[in-house]
Amino acid sequence: MTTSGIVKRPTVLNDGRELIYFDDADTVLPPERTADARHLDPRPDTATMRQDVLTGEWISIAAARQNRVFLPPANQDPLAPTTPDNATEVPSMYDVAVFENKSPSFGPALAGDAGAPESLEALSEVGLGRSYTSIGRCEVVCFSPQHEGSFGSLTPSRARTVIEAWADRTAALSAMPGIQQVFPFENRGQEIGVTLQHPHGQIYSYPYVTPRTTRLLESIEKVGPDLFEQILQSERASERVVLEGKNWTAYVPFAARWPIEVHMLPHRHIPDFAATNDEERDELATLYLQLLRGIDKLYDTPTPYIAAWHQAPVNVGRDDIRLMLQITSPRRAANKLKYLAGSEAAMGAFIGDVLPEQTAAFIREGISRA
């Protein structure tokens, strides 16, 4: 049990994958959990990652993901609690459940296993035909036993439990051999490519520092180690702030790429969720719900988005990179989406459709309606 009253209950599925129940502080569930009764096939081999010699980036070739479930009906939901007619990934009723992905992009192999990268330095080299085993770990975070919904539809108590799970898993995954960066995120909406309607997110644990974070480290080198404090002070003084608390501020960034884009930063330097304290987690549970519900009030139908929690890498930049939420949505009007066409997709050169200051005012209106 944590100081918040949330209880962690680890167990194992029949193919050896880890499953962890996180019980709300005000749970009505009993402590006992039903064991996994399924007869499961062996886990697929760990994927292989190949280097793109043009950029130095690593691409994981995870062919086992090609046949994953696509938008099943409620009675076949693989993330719902198991029933006599639907044997799922979660054997018992739950508040929040976290388990290893059955078809991961990274893992289950870790550093020291066959074909794993020798070091972070080895991954930074560039050459033709380079490949390694895609070591790491991918986990699914079920926010609720309900078939439909998103983080924004949770109660404050349940939101707090999910945040506790993110913190717990960030610490545990960061300690695994060869893990270089831990990334919690939520994809919401079929327009984003979601294949399950069940309210859930994922956590990817990479064997390298991701391209976006590598670029960030280069910017810190140029601007200074207090880059995030400079950003926070600049944004808090602007008209782009959409929500502010004692410990967190959410704003539309100065150079927003997407029609809807909101960033959120903690007021003190925190490298990842594991470093947050109870007060910060408590306030985040409330503010994050306000923000997501406000974004859903922008139009008459729910807004598709990617909610990405950028965390400092495990072994570099921890004194400089601050935990940051980045929410992005391609929705540029009630019935229009922004597609990444030539300039964005081919060259990575974004063209914004809306002034960030106008977007901030629009989102503030949504928050007030929520």
pLDDT tens, residue by residue, 258-314: 999 999 999 999 999 999 999 999 999 999 999 999 999 999 999 999 999 999 999
Is residue 2 situated within a structural domain?
Answer: no
Q: What does the pLDDT read at residue 65? A: 74
Is residue 348 situated within a structural domain?
Answer: yes
Q: Mean pLDDT, the chain, as a whole number?
A: 96
236, 247, 262: which is closest to 328 by C-alpha?
262
Q: Which domain holds residue 17?
A: 7-208
The pLDDT of 124-135, averaged and rounded, is 98
CATH of residue 13's domain is 3.30.428.10
Question: Which amino acid, residue 101?
Answer: N
pLDDT for residue 14 is more than 80:
yes
- How many degrees, rounded to 5, is the angle at CA 316 between CA 125 and CA 45? 60
Q: What does the pLDDT read at residue 111? A: 96
Is residue 247 situated within a structural domain?
Answer: yes
The pLDDT of 232-247, averaged and rounded, is 98
Q: What does the pLDDT read at residue 1? A: 72
* DSSP state string for 167-229: HHHHHHHHTSTT--EEEEEEEESGGGT-S--SSEEEEEEESS--HHHHHHHHHHHHH-TTHHH
44, 36, 32, 17: which is closest to 87 by C-alpha?
36
Q: Annotated catalytic sites, by residue?
A: 200
pLDDT tens digits, 335-352: 999 998 899 999 999 999
Q: Are residues 199 and 218 in the same domain?
A: no
Decide which of 208, 241, 271 is a domain's last residue: 208
Q: What does the pLDDT read at residue 290? A: 98
Q: Are residues 255 and 198 in the same domain?
A: no
Within 10 angstroms of residue 346's Cβ, the number of other Cβ atoms is 9
Q: Are residues 143 and 69 in the same domain?
A: yes
pLDDT for residue 76 is more than 90:
yes
345 CB-near residues (< 8 Å, 6+ apart): none
Against a cut of 0.95, is the pTM above it?
yes
Q: Are residues 198 and 228 in the same domain?
A: no
Q: Are residues 53 and 177 in the same domain?
A: yes
Decide which of 165, 186, 208 is a domain's last residue: 208
Q: Are residues 128 and 114 in the same domain?
A: yes
Decide which of 208, 234, 249 is a domain's last residue: 208
Q: How many domains does the chain have?
A: 2
Q: Are residues 296 and 257 in the same domain?
A: yes
Is residue 1 situated within a structural domain?
Answer: no
pLDDT tens digits, 138-160: 999 999 999 999 999 999 999 99
Task: Give alpha helix (H) positions in the chain.
Answer: 120-124, 156-174, 211-223, 227-236, 278-296, 347, 356-369
